[in-house]
Amino acid sequence: MPMTNRDRKIGLSEAITPSLASLCPMPRQKAPTKSSSDRIAVLSIGGDSIGSQHADGRYVPLLKQQFDALHDAGFQFRSLYSAMERVRREEPIAERTLAVTLESEHAQPDSRLIRELISLNVSVTVLFDAAQLAAMSPQDHDAWHRWALTGLVDFGVQPIAQGDSKPHSLEFYREMSTGVESLESIFAVTQPVLVFPVNSGIWGSEYEEIAMAVGAVACITNQQQSVDLRSNPFVWGRFQMAASDSPRAIVKRLSRQYSRWHRLWNQISEPFRATPIQAPTLVAQGM
């Protein structure tokens, strides 16, 4: 039976359909618009509970569960430095943004925690105290530089943990000056974040001027609160991720910071927020 014009059209359509599909793929479904915010949460990994389990590798599987749960809950991970820079340039930040720091006690280049965070595509600020920086070998320098090349690892400075005791102002100034200078010499970090150890009590405002004087760009205290990136950067708070936190518990605790009531409180308190302050010019002279 001879082929009709209709048959020829159908055959031609069937023949070219695959090529058309490859050239003109179906339009992607538009992703939901994410609300933006100048508020993030800083999440610190470290402390006694993690240290006791990290030695034999028991914590790493839980770390993956915790971060998988945060990913599934819509949290995004961004370097603290990157978040601060976006606000400086008046660029939006996704509302559920977390900045992760790793305490100095876990700052070893061969750490399984580092490897797991990188595999999860989590940006992390690794903290060093002055003694660690002074003791670093050239091999350590090279290893950390390789981690930095991933684009997911950057560096900050931390006081040496002293339990609940607080250092004398002069001792703190000298220690932090040494740490900041070493960080710049090794990693070319000129304005680091300064993060107090998680087991050190509530340090913060009394060391604010010293932190500015040594060249820190921000100071992270142990206040359990999210961070308004437009506020005074030397009294910011953070949250600790502990080995005892179930994935559900850590998601619930951080999600609470972005609840309707927290947003309302932020709107009400906005006129009263402290603005970033200038570094003093006379503090260092008094040291």
Domains of the chain (ranges, CATH numbers): 37-268 (3.20.20.370)
Residue appearing with tokens 């100034």: 173
Average pLDDT over residues 261-278: 47
**Which amino acid, one-letter code, is at 272?**
F
pLDDT value, residue 185: 96
Range in 24-38, 124-138, 164-178 with the lowest mean pLDDT: 24-38
Q: What is the CA radius of gyration of the chain?
A: 24
What's the mean per-residue pLDDT of the chain?
A: 78
Share of the chain above pLDDT 70, in %: 69
Name the most confidently modeled range: 16-20, 142-146, 245-249, 274-278.
142-146
Residue 128's pLDDT band (cuts 50, 70, 90): very high
Do strands 97-102 and 76-77 pair parallel, antiparallel, or not at all (unpaired)? Answer: parallel
Residue 196 has pLDDT above 50, yes or no: yes
pLDDT value at position 59? Answer: 82
Distance CA 265, CA 262 (A): 5
